[in-house]
A and B are shown apart, each in its own frame.
Chain A
Amino acid sequence: MKSFLIKDFILLKQRKSFFMVYFLMIVAMIYTKNIVFFIDFFSILAMILAFSTMSYDSHDNGMVFLMTMPNARKNYARAKYALCGILLLASWVVPYLVKVVSSIKEYNMINIADILLDSIIIMPICILICSVMIPVMLKFGAEKGRLVLALGFGTLTIIAVVIMKTEILSNLFGLAILEVGNLFGFEILGIAACVVILIGLVVSIIISDKIMEKREF
């Protein structure tokens, strides 16, 4: 897996435009108080970067050659999950470090904890995105995978809009969340949601392994 990660990081260093945007956003972030937006932005950027490596791998029939490397079928998908994890972690740690260092007089532990609580929601969302995107892109290829996902998310959006517009359904949904939250506590609900997302990640990895085992190149 390490070898495929190295391959991807070497590929990413070619994405100079991304790093330029990242650098400019970091500079902008130094002069703002609210870094939550930037952490969310960097997290999404990290996901896009990670998925772009799958597109590049597929260019010019590249997957055929890649799959002749040692242990390719087993390690290719897992390396993509690891890449997502590393980039996501970096999208958190780097802004915090930059902000703390640049505002060392203003910040204390309480403020950092507050920021942590505000920005933590993006992490499970990104894990969910990874868990869905990677197996879809592996199954359908990078280009078709994006189309499948756009259709899937589009359908979900339509269903969500219909639910929200239909007052009875949206009220029922809201009441259900309130009931469960009051029964178990909203913190427990939040933790349960995170556990479900992590289980989803494990299932996604298993599905990706199966896809890679069966796929033909």
Chain B
Amino acid sequence: MIKIDGLKKKYKDFELDISMDIKEGTVTGLIGKNGAGKSTAIKAILGLIHPDAGSIKVMGDVPGKNMENIGAAFSDSGMSMLYNINDISRIMHAMYDEFEEDKFKELCQKMELPFDKLLKDFSSGMKAKLKVLLTISHKAKLLVLDEPTTGLDVLARNEVMDMLRQYLEEDATRSILISSHISTDLEGLCDDIYMIDKGKIILHEDTDVLLGQYGVLKMSEKEFEELDKQYVTVSRKDSLSVTCLTNEKQYYIDNYPNIAVENSRIDDIIMLTLGGN
């Protein structure tokens, strides 16, 4: 669905250098801290910026083509605030051949979005829901979502995630690329996750593996010195102990019964990967 090969984009204080392969029918998460390069990668995929080097293919074509089949949403960009939902429906009907006007209005009603208010009078939760609704209302094969739940409360985030799950259930060939720095959103939705830091991909793994096989080890410095480190990906020394990330927690459960082995969440993986050695 999306193939990125050696994409490079240089700015004054930052350089993006990534390769990614997103298959049809998958949900891929892109996670990283602010300024890591998530939005730059997404803009390159959507043809909003021109790479300095490398190649990108989106549904077999160069970025910017095939936009009829792509739904995009950004946390900091959307339709003009002077429109209301009826206006937006008319615009989308003109823009997209496959726009499902009835379904869009039905979903807006279900999400309790007011039809007669201008967007400038919407709450941030309403705006975020509308942005995602727009992406799923024209039979897009690919959704590219840049931090769609930023600034939302937990209820609103769940509603947005549910919309996306329903969208995927309708057609198994649909794909989503979603960037976020809220890991819990991605854990429940994504098949695989790319972690990006300072413009580079530092980790790519299936979500099941991250949650099932990865683990956090906690031990003393002496235990760390004696530890078999072949499955330790990252370690971090505190004043009293050493914390490690492993991609084979079962090995340490079986062979090091004295060491504390915890299940890892994506947040733990991010904290250790970005903050450790």
Which listed residue, B68, B76, B94, touches A61 by the CB 8 Å rule? B76
Which listed residue, A3, A62, A216, touches B91 by the CB 8 Å rule? A3
Is residue B50 contacting chain A, with contact meaning CB distance below 8 A? yes
Closest to A15 in B: B82
Those of A63-93 within 8 Å (CB) of chain B: 63-65, 67-73
Residues of A within 8 A of B68 (CB): 70
Closest to B48 in A: A217
Minimum distance in angstroms from A156 CB to a CB of chain B: 33
Minimum distance in angstroms from A58 CB to a CB of chain B: 10
Q: Which has the most chain A C-beta neighbours within 10 Å: B83, B91, B94, B95?
A: B95
Is residue B43 contacting chain A, with contact meaning CB distance below 8 A? yes
Q: Is the interface of B mostly helix, strand, loop or mixed?
A: loop
Those of A36-81 within 8 Å (CB) of chain B: 56-57, 59-65, 67-73
Q: In the complex, A73 Cα to B50 Cα: how many Å?
A: 13
Size class of the A contact interface (CB-based, 8 Å)? 20 to 34
Is residue B266 contacting chain A, with contact meaning CB distance below 8 A? no
Residues of A within 8 A of B46 (CB): 67-68
CB <8 Å contact, B77 and A65: yes
Is residue B80 contacting chain A, with contact meaning CB distance below 8 A? yes
CB <8 Å contact, A64 and B77: yes
CB <8 Å contact, B83 and A68: no
Which listed residue, A6, A11, A65, A71, touches B78 by the CB 8 Å rule? A65
CB <8 Å contact, B80 and A6: no
With contacts A7-B94, A217-B43 known, is A62 near B48, CB below 8 A?
no
CB <8 Å contact, B94 and A3: yes
Those of A190-214 within 8 Å (CB) of chain B: 214
Q: In the complex, A68 Cα to B71 Cα: how many Å?
A: 8
Chain B 28-46, CB within 8 Å of chain A: the 1/0 string? Answer: 0000000000000001001
Q: In the complex, A59 Cα to B96 Cα: how many Å?
A: 23
Residues of A within 8 A of B76 (CB): 60-61, 64
CB <8 Å contact, B90 and A6: yes
With contacts A3-B94, A7-B94, A10-B90 known, is A71 near B81, CB below 8 A?
no
Q: Which residues of A contact B (CB under 8 A)?
A: 2-3, 6-7, 10-11, 14, 56-57, 59-65, 67-73, 214, 216-217
Q: Which residues of B contact A (CB under 8 A)?
A: 43, 46-50, 64, 67-68, 70, 72, 74, 76-83, 87, 90-91, 94-96, 118
Kindly list 8 other residue pairs between chains A and B, CB separation below 8 angstroms, not including A69-B95, A70-B96: A6-B91, A7-B94, A10-B91, A56-B80, A59-B81, A64-B76, A70-B68, A216-B48
